[in-house]
Amino acid sequence: MPIEALKNRLPAFAKDVKLNLSSMLSDETLPTQQRYGLFLACAIATRNADVIRAFEVLAREHLSPQALDASRAAAVMMAMNNIYYRFVHLSSNKAYETKPARLRMNVIANPGVDKADFELWSLAVSAINGCGKCIDAHDKVLRDAGVNEDAIQNGVRYAAIIQSVAVSLEAAEATASFAQAAE
């Protein structure tokens, strides 16, 4: 599904989401690889098949196969890490902080793309998944690498917009289902 078709499916009550999506797609403040990898990683994190397909098509136009895989890897690694580290962070039993995670995460050390790109994608996915411990860790790595706060904030803003697209589509589908059931 092309991105324009996705935009056209957004319901009237999501007018602001549609405007934000258009603005995000035309914003070129981040480098191309960083931007399109971010779009794809965040789309995967929404778990919405239509959103994933639309952003996959868009990302394929701008990313190498290696960058596509790294973006996907950021999304799936954070799906695992965000659960684990959110648990560690939220648990009142602080003993979990001293235990090894024992989770394979080799791709984080060698993602196949610029480390800062991968870290920004991981941070944005961590924001969608709500893991404060991971957000702090990725933010620190990015700032230590010289990535400025505006770029980091932009990445999280993109994550928020992509998540809102998925929620808007799901809300519209639920509304349509309720209306059909009432007939």
Statement: residue 174 has pLDDT above 90: no
Residue 160, number of CB atoms within 10 A of its CB: 17
What number of CA atoms fall less than 13 Å from residue 43's CA on the CB side? 23
Query: Where do we find the tokens 């931007």?
Result: 35
Query: Where do we find the tokens 């929620």?
Result: 167
Q: Catalytic residue, from 63, 131, 152, 169: name it.
A: 131
What is the reported pLDDT for 182?
67
In the residue annotation, 42 being an active-site residue is answered as: no
Task: Write the pLDDT tens digit of every residue in 134-160.
Answer: 999 999 999 999 999 999 999 999 999
92 φ/ψ angles, rounded to the nearest 5 degrees? -75, -15
Per the prediction, the chain carries an average pLDDT of 94
Statement: residue 178 has pLDDT above 70: no
Tokens of 98: 């001293």
Tokens of 72: 């996907």
What is the reported pLDDT for 135?
97
Q: Are 58 and 39 in contact (CB under 8 A)?
A: yes
Q: Are 41 and 121 in contact (CB under 8 A)?
A: yes
Where does the pLDDT of residue 175 fall: very low under 50, low under 70, confident under 90, or very high at 90 and above? confident
Q: What is the mean pLDDT of residues 24-48?
A: 97
In the residue annotation, 131 being an active-site residue is answered as: yes
Residue 124 gets which letter from DSSP? Answer: H
Tokens of 142: 């990015």
Cβ neighbours of residue 89 under 8 Å, at least 6 residues apart? 131, 132, 133
What is the reported pLDDT for 179?
62
CATH 3.40.800.20 fits 3-108+119-182, yes or no: no
Q: Catalytic residue, from 134, 141, 162, 169: name it.
A: 134
116 φ/ψ angles, rounded to the nearest 5 degrees? -65, -35
Domain ranges of the chain: 3-108+119-182
Q: What is the mean pLDDT of residues 71-77?
A: 97
Q: Are 138 and 152 in contact (CB under 8 A)?
A: no
What is the reported pLDDT for 130?
95
Cα–Cα distance for residue pair 114/19, rounded to 1 Å: 30
Task: Write the pLDDT tens digit of every residue in 53-73.
Answer: 999 999 999 999 999 999 999
Q: Are 131 and 89 in contact (CB under 8 A)?
A: yes
